[in-house]
């Protein structure tokens, strides 16, 4: 109780409506009570260390966990009679047959033919043509090269399988998601309810729902499609819903006055005006779908995830790298294509789109060429089966050599860095959070939530902490929280350094963006092995994996935020003769504060989403519990409890940072930032970060 | 206008090049092969049919699965589908017809309770030993066993505990626990034998291998859970530390375990429905047995020599036709 005492004094010192300067003082004053809380906490920790920590050994379970397991067992036992499962099984049969039909059309032999109905040449031609039709010739070239790279690097079938799964998933997501997006965009109440569900879908570790999905939908392609859908639905609903909501009320009122019906308003005004945002949502959904590829491979989902996992199985970085890089190629291809398509549709809608007659002729010529290619690919074996190249193996060897060199050269340095961070940052924080009695940490965290986020964040924190306590994994949760916080600190250091650098130098920006895109898209499993080789199985290894995954998003946010500072403000500063350092610390960073908070928020959630991966590399705690539950049926309940605990941690961190950002706002009501949406891949000029 | 025309020219050029390339690399005619396939399908009645083989995620298993699969394909004309799955998920697949065979089972009492006929829904059937003997235990890298031979007795471990300390072990020695899917009692063993160690879970086989490999290269102190048959032992011959010997029942209560792991007879588990069908592969799977050495050879082809599992299995089958013939009976 003593810990909370200083908090009330710091509550919302300035109410909205005041002139701009106050936020400056607000942020200073909040750190003082926070420091007091931490000081009190440290004193209490020294008096009570090691008591009531609720630690649970790695393979131990509690009654609650066993009850959850029992629930799963009951479901499993009833699978032949349960009507819901009968229903889901028939859906899964349908999904499988659709997938297999498409597969036989374009990638696997369609017996008695020794090859698919359309061979590789035909497939490449069709894809290129589609790229040309919906966008332009540049996109057509990009699509063509991407498809050829799938085959040349030796993963033709896996790549097409992944494309098919992604295609089916995205199609279903659109069918389910658009009505939801309309609901979210038109009804405030529906928005509230649906947002909670979407939060859950996005923070729940995929491993946790992979098993129930298998239970209901079986192994393989159906499980892959369903789990991909769960993961890829939220971005579309959020972003498209936002687009619909943001259609100017004046426009709606003006058209309403003409006496339109609800449906007319929806289809003639709201949807068309939100089209661009909807396509951004679609774009994000597609990229999210791709990032599920490797995880779906755990339940025999088809696609490029399989060779990535196979590489992990034999500790072969190179073997995992090539298919991982092809996932990046595919992501870039889909991203650029959907973006260009939306731009084109925009242009056409405005009556542009270039010389129509010329384009028609080109389209006809391209169509004929495509038909010829399809015909040839149906006739000649060499044009139906992709030729075998060894270039993929060569790349794998080079990657392995480079990795060997890096690990043997830097092994010592990285080891020292690991020990330093572990000893000076990780261990002290973990002691405080995890070795204090649970009620002390509980009160400490809640008090900090109150200081930084105000009353609403305090209530959220109370609810979440109670839930974490209830699910019997308190100690593990505190260790995971520590790792998440430390990783986020590292992410923010990187984000500040690179973000500011990129914002101040366009060339740097152009050079770094593609690397960031790749960092966001390449499956984490690919870089697990080199990271392991550098740091050994430890908590720090998990932190590094989390940083690699989370830093790109945070860096982009900071860069965009700093870049958004108005040039006149900077000019004004320069005229007073300030140094570069002053300009960054006194003008650019303070003015980009909103972006910094958002970057922290995203950093926390991205890092947290890597918890399970961390469990695979020796981080223990909740990540290990989830993997343990996924691997052994008697521990399923513990895995589920750990998954729910991760969600609760995520919701808590999100609410606190979000509330902290809101308290800082001085512009009253207005659009809120899209916490949770993945950031678009691409150059800054292409499009803006979506806000909701 | 100018850009549009050049675009057309470019497209035309591409088309021309493509047509040339096409006519150059003709290859065989698909129609001929289709006819041939149709005739063949009419002749052979397809005795074996489809065989769904679960592939659990460790290389030794992969070796067993692909060898049996390759024989089934080559000798019996089965069409084999390999499904990459964890153990738990594989067993669930027996009932739904998605999995026919789990070729290397290390003992899963909880799954047996759910899926064997005498205790559960009867969708799974024990198809007998597959010949390999699983040896689980505590292992140290060879350099350590050589320099400190007494470390191979658990009584001496406390003497060296400080040497094993890492940033993760909080002042105690670190014991590297295994991939969560493996049966393990290390936390209980450590506490019941009063060892000054803390179990740190590596989390995956990849993590364990990477740690052992580095330990041998740089002469680092590592002790951890490891097992045979395992291809990695050919690269680094991990040395086993003797714990109090296993006796029947000493692992019944997970809290009080204070003994070594038993040797496990690895088994084949199959789908009951499939085993009662008329596929010719049923006999093959029933007859299949081989040794730890056999498996390590194939696993080595895959993991150390970088061969694809198909090629590795085909190579072994070619070199060991006598053993294969025995399975075919």
DSSP 8-state class, residue B151: G
Adjacent-strand bridge partners of B263 = B135
Identify the band that residue A687 occupies on the pLDDT scale cut at 50, 70 and 90. very low
pLDDT at residue A12 in the model: 44
CA distances from A3 to A7, A37, A443, A467, A487 (A): 8, 6, 7, 21, 26
> What distance in Å separates the CA atoms of residue B174 and residue B189, rounded to the nearest whole number?
14
* pLDDT-wise least confident of A12-26, A320-334, A501-515, A560-574: A12-26
| Residue in chain A lying closest to B170 (CA) | A427
Is 90 exceeded by the pLDDT of residue A654? no
Q: Which of A214, A315, A624 sits opposite B209 (nearest CB)?
A: A315
Q: Which of B5, B98, B201 sits opposite A618 (nearest CB)?
A: B201
| DSSP class per residue in A486-548 | HHHHHHHHHHHHHHHHHHH-HHHHHHHHHHHHHHHHS-HHHHHHHHHHHH-SSHHHHHHHHHH
Q: Which of B22, B167, B306 sits opposite A423 (nearest CB)?
A: B167
pLDDT at residue B55 in the model: 93
Is 80 exceeded by the pLDDT of residue B6? no
Q: Which of A298, A538, A615 sits opposite B168 (nearest CB)?
A: A538
> What distance in Å separates the CA atoms of residue A421 and residue A167, rounded to the nearest whole number?
43
pLDDT at residue B31 in the model: 77
Q: Which residues make up the CATH 3.40.190.100 domain(s) of chain B?
A: 135-263
Q: How far is CA A158 from the centre of its chain?
A: 23
Number of residues in chain B: 329
| Residue scoring higher pLDDT (A145 or A423) | A145
B1 to chain A, any CB pair closer than 8 A? The answer is yes
pLDDT at residue B28 in the model: 58
> What distance in Å separates the CA atoms of residue B186 and residue A59, rounded to the nearest whole number?
9
Is 90 exceeded by the pLDDT of residue B152? yes
Is 80 exceeded by the pLDDT of residue A443? yes
CA atoms within 13 A on the CB side of A403: 22
| Residue scoring higher pLDDT (B222 or A598) | B222
| Residue scoring higher pLDDT (B20 or B43) | B43
Identify the band that residue A139 occupies on the pLDDT scale cut at 50, 70 and 90. very high
A628 to chain B, any CB pair closer than 8 A? The answer is yes
Contact B46, B77 (CB under 8 A): yes
Residues of B in contact with A376 (CB under 8 A): 22
pLDDT at residue A14 in the model: 47
Identify the band that residue A684 occupies on the pLDDT scale cut at 50, 70 and 90. very low
> What distance in Å separates the CA atoms of residue A333 and residue A162, rounded to the nearest whole number?
14
| Residue scoring higher pLDDT (A411 or B138) | B138
> What distance in Å separates the CA atoms of residue B68 and residue A216, rounded to the nearest whole number?
30
Q: Could you give the angle at which helices A156-186 and A317-349 cross, rounded to 10 degrees?
A: 50
Adjacent-strand bridge partners of B264 = B134
SS3 B3: helix
pLDDT at residue A28 in the model: 55
pLDDT at residue B22 in the model: 46
Q: Could you give the angle at which helices A539-563 and A593-609 cross, rounded to 10 degrees?
A: 150
Q: Could you give the angle at which helices A188-203 and A636-664 cross, rounded to 10 degrees?
A: 130
Q: Residue A314 CB: number of other CB atoms within 10 A?
A: 23
**Average pLDDT value over all residues in chain A:** 84
Q: How far is CA B281 from the centre of its chain?
A: 21
| Residue scoring higher pLDDT (A311 or A345) | A311
Q: Which of A306, A358, A381 sits opposite B30 (nearest CB)?
A: A381
| Residue scoring higher pLDDT (A563 or A464) | A464
> What distance in Å separates the CA atoms of residue A431 and residue A645, rounded to the nearest whole number?
20
pLDDT at residue A463 in the model: 95
Question: What average pLDDT score do residues A74-99 get?
Answer: 88
A312 to chain B, any CB pair closer than 8 A? The answer is yes
* pLDDT-wise least confident of A19-33, A37-51, A69-83: A19-33
| DSSP class per residue in A405-431 | HHHHHHHHHHHHHHHHHIIIIIHHHHH
B37 to chain A, any CB pair closer than 8 A? The answer is yes
Residues of A in contact with B25 (CB under 8 A): 380, 382-383
Question: What average pLDDT score do residues A642-652 get?
Answer: 92
Class of CATH domain A31-60+406-691: mainly alpha
Tell me which range, A280-294, A526-540, B217-231, is most confidently predicted by mean pLDDT: B217-231
| DSSP class per residue in A330-384 | HHHHHHHHHHHHHHHHHHHHTT-SS-HHHHHHHHHHHHHHHHHHHHHHHHBHHHH
SS3 B46: coil
**Average pLDDT value over all residues in chain B:** 86
Contact B187, A620 (CB under 8 A): no
SS3 B265: strand
Q: What is the token pair recorded at A329? A: 């190629």
Class of CATH domain B13-133+266-328: alpha beta
| Residue scoring higher pLDDT (A637 or A211) | A637
pLDDT at residue A671 in the model: 31
pLDDT at residue B146 in the model: 94
Is 50 exceeded by the pLDDT of residue A1? no
Q: Which of B28, B38, B93 sits opposite A219 (nearest CB)?
A: B93
Q: What is the token pair recorded at A71? A: 């629930």
SS3 A211: helix
Nearest C-alpha neighbor of B281 from the set B112, B129, B74: B74
Rg (CA), chain A: 26
* pLDDT-wise least confident of A19-28, A356-365, A462-471, B123-132: A19-28
Residue B236, H or E segment: none
pLDDT digits (tens, 9 = 90+) for B263-283: 989 999 999 999 998 888 999
pLDDT digits (tens, 9 = 90+) for B105-150: 988 888 898 899 888 889 999 999 999 999 999 999 999 999 999 9
pLDDT at residue B164 in the model: 93
Q: How far is CA B105 from the centre of its chain?
A: 10
Cβ burial, residue A115 (10 Å; 0-12/13-18/19+): buried
pLDDT at residue A387 in the model: 86
pLDDT at residue A584 in the model: 86
Identify the band that residue A2 occupies on the pLDDT scale cut at 50, 70 and 90. very low
pLDDT at residue A322 in the model: 92
CB contacts < 8 A (A, B): 222
Tell me which range, A381-385, A671-675, B33-37, B199-203, is most confidently predicted by mean pLDDT: B199-203
pLDDT digits (tens, 9 = 90+) for A328-369: 999 889 988 888 888 887 788 777 666 788 888 888 999 999
pLDDT at residue A440 in the model: 94
Is 60 exceeded by the pLDDT of residue A691? no
CA distances from B296 to A267, A307, A317, A319, A427 (A): 64, 22, 22, 21, 41
B83 to chain A, any CB pair closer than 8 A? The answer is yes
Name the one residue in this structure whose structure tokens are 């999904």: A95
Nearest C-alpha neighbor of A678 from the set A296, A281, A177, A293: A281
Mutate one of A425, A541, A627, A633 to test the B interface: name it (highest B CB count within 10 A).
A633
CA atoms within 13 A on the CB side of B83: 30
Contact B203, A537 (CB under 8 A): yes
A443 CB-near residues (< 8 Å, 6+ apart) = A1, A3, A4
> What distance in Å separates the CA atoms of residue A468 and residue A475, rounded to the nearest whole number?
10
A382 to chain B, any CB pair closer than 8 A? The answer is yes
DSSP 8-state class, residue B245: P
Residue A396, H or E segment: helix A391-421
A166 CB-near residues (< 8 Å, 6+ apart) = A228, A286, A289, A290, A293, A334
Is 80 exceeded by the pLDDT of residue A159? yes
* pLDDT-wise least confident of A106-115, A416-425, B306-315: A106-115
pLDDT digits (tens, 9 = 90+) for A106-134: 888 887 788 888 889 999 999 999 999 98
Candidate CATH numbers 3.40.50.2300, 1.10.569.10, 3.40.190.100, 3.40.47.10; the one for domain B135-263 = 3.40.190.100
Q: Which of A114, A373, A382 sits opposite B33 (nearest CB)?
A: A114
Q: What is the token pair recorded at A456? A: 């609403």
A306 to chain B, any CB pair closer than 8 A? The answer is yes
Q: How far is CA B320 from the centre of its chain?
A: 21
Identify the band that residue A678 occupies on the pLDDT scale cut at 50, 70 and 90. very low
Is 70 exceeded by the pLDDT of residue A7? no
* pLDDT-wise least confident of A153-162, A540-549, A594-603: A594-603
Identify the band that residue A16 occupies on the pLDDT scale cut at 50, 70 and 90. low
Interface of A with B in 564-623 (CB under 8 A): 615-620, 623
Interface of B with A in 126-185 (CB under 8 A): 166-168, 176-177, 179-181, 184-185
pLDDT at residue A642 in the model: 94
Q: Where are the beta strands (DSSP E) in chain B?
A: 50-55, 79-84, 101-105, 124-140, 173-177, 197-201, 223-228, 239-241, 263-271
Residues of A in contact with B19 (CB under 8 A): 372
B208 to chain A, any CB pair closer than 8 A? The answer is yes
Q: How many Å lie between the alpha carbon of B329 and the closest alpha carbon of chain A? A: 31
pLDDT digits (tens, 9 = 90+) for A217-257: 988 899 999 999 998 898 889 888 888 888 888 888 888 88
Is 90 exceeded by the pLDDT of residue B71? yes
Segments making up each domain of chain A, as ranges:
31-60+406-691
Q: What is the token pair recorded at A472? A: 């019997």
């Amino acid at each position: 109780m003593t810990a909370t005492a200083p908090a009330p004094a710091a509550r919302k010192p300035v109410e909205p409506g005041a002139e701009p300067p106050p936020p400056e003082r607000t942020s200073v004053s909040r750190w003082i009570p926070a420091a007091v809380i931490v000081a009190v906490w440290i004193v209490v920790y020294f008096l009570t260390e090691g008591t009531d920590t609720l630690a649970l050994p790695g393979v131990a379970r509690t009654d609650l966990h066993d009850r959850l397991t029992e629930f799963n067992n009951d479901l499993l036992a009833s699978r032949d009679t349960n009507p819901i499962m009968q229903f889901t099984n028939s859906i899964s049969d349908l999904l499988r047959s659709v997938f297999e039909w498409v597969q036989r059309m374009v990638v696997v032999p369609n017996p008695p033919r020794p090859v698919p109905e359309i061979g590789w040449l035909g497939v490449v031609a069709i894809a290129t043509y589609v790229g040309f039709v919906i966008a332009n010739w540049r996109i057509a070239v990009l699509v063509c090269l991407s498809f050829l790279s799938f085959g040349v690097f030796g993963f033709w079938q896996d790549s097409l399988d992944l494309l098919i799964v992604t295609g089916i998933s995205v199609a279903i997501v659109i069918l389910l998601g658009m009505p939801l997006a309309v609901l979210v965009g038109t009804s405030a109440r529906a928005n509230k309810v649906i947002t909670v569900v979407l939060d859950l879908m996005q923070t729940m570790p995929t491993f946790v729902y992979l098993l129930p999905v298998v239970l209901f939908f079986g192994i393989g392609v159906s499980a892959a499609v369903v789990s991909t859908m769960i993961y890829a639905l939220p971005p579309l609903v959020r972003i498209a819903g936002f687009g619909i909501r943001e259609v100017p009320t004046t426009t709606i009122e003006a058209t309403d006055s003409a006496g339109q019906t609800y449906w007319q308003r929806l289809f003639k005004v709201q949807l068309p005006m939100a089209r661009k945002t909807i396509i951004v949502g679609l774009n994000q959904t597609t990229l999210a779908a791709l990032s599920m590829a490797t995880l779906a491979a755990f339940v025999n989902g088809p696609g490029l995830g399989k060779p990535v996992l196979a590489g992990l199985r034999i500790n072969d970085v190179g073997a995992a790298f090539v298919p991982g890089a092809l996932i990046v190629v595919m992501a870039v291809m889909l991203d650029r294509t959907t973006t260009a398509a939306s731009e084109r549709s925009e242009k056409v809608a405005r009556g542009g789109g270039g010389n129509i007659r010329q384009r028609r002729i080109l389209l006809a010529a391209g169509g004929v060429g495509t038909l010829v290619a399809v015909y040839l690919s149906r006739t000649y074996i060499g044009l139906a089966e992709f030729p075998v190249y060894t270039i993929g193996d060569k790349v794998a060897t080079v990657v392995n050599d480079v990795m060997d060199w890096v690990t043997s050269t830097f092994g010592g340095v990285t080891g020292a860095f690991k020990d330093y961070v572990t000893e000076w940052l990780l261990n002290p924080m973990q002691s405080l959070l995890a070795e204090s009695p649970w009620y002390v940490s509980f009160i400490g965290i809640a008090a900090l939530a109150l200081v930084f986020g105000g009353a609403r964040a305090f209530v959220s924190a109370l609810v979440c902490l109670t839930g974490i306590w209830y699910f019997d994994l308190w100690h593990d949760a505190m260790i995971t929280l520590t790792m998440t916080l430390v990783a986020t600190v590292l992410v923010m250091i990187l984000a500040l350094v690179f973000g500011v650098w990129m914002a101040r130098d366009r060339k740097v920006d152009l050079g770094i963006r593609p690397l960031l895109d790749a960092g966001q898209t390449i499956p984490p499993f690919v870089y697990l092995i080199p990271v392991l080789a550098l740091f050994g199985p430890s908590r720090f290894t998990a932190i590094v994996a989390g940083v690699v995954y989370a830093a790109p998003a945070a860096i982009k946010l900071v860069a965009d935020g700093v870049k958004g500072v108005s040039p006149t403000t900077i000019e004004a500063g320069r005229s007073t003769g300030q140094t570069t350092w002053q300009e960054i610390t006194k003008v650019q960073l303070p003015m980009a504060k909103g972006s910094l908070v958002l970057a922290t928020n995203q950093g926390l959630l991205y890092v947290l989403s890597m918890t399970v991966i961390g469990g695979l590399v020796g981080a223990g705690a909740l990540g290990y519990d989830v993997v343990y539950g996924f691997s052994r049926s008697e521990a399923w309940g513990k895995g589920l409890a750990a998954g729910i605990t991760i969600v609760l941690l995520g919701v808590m961190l999100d609410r606190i940072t979000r509330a902290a950002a809101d308290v800082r706002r001085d512009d009253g009501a207005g659009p809120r930032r899209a916490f949770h949406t993945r950031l678009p891949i691409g150059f800054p000029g292409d499009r803006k970060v979506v806000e909701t | 206008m100018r850009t549009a025309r050049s675009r057309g020219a470019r497209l035309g050029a591409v088309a021309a090049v493509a047509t040339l390339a096409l006519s150059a690399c003709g290859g065989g005619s698909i129609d001929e092969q289709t006819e041939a396939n149709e005739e063949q399908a009419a002749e052979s009645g397809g005795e074996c049919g489809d065989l769904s083989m679960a592939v659990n995620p460790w290389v030794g298993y992969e070796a067993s699965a692909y060898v049996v699969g390759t024989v089934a394909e080559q000798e019996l004309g089965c069409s084999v589908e390999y499904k990459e799955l964890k153990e738990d998920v594989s067993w669930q697949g027996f009932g739904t017809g998605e999995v026919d065979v789990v070729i290397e089972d290390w003992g899963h009492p909880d799954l047996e309770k759910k899926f064997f006929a005498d205790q559960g829904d009867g969708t799974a059937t024990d198809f007998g030993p597959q010949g390999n003997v699983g040896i689980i235990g505590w292992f140290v890298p060879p350099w350590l066993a050589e320099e400190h031979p007494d470390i191979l007795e658990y009584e001496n471990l406390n003497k060296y505990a400080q040497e094993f300390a890492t940033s993760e072990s909080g002042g105690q020695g670190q014991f590297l626990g295994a991939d969560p899917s493996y049966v393990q009692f290390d936390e209980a063993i450590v506490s019941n034998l009063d060892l000054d160690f803390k179990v740190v879970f590596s989390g995956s086989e990849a993590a364990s291998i990477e740690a052992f490999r580095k330990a041998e290269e740089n002469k680092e102190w590592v002790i951890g859970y490891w097992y045979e048959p395992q291809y990695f032992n050919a690269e680094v011959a991990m040395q086993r530390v003797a714990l109090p010997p296993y006796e029947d029942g000493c692992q019944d209560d997970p809290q009080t375990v204070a003994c070594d792991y038993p040797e496990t007879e690895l088994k084949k588990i199959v789908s009951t429905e499939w085993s009662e069908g008329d596929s010719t592969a049923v006999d093959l799977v029933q007859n299949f047995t081989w040794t730890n050495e056999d498996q390590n050879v194939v696993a080595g082809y895959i993991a150390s020599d970088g061969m694809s599992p198909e090629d590795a299995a085909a190579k072994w089958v070619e070199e060991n036709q006598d053993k294969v013939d025995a399975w075919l009976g």
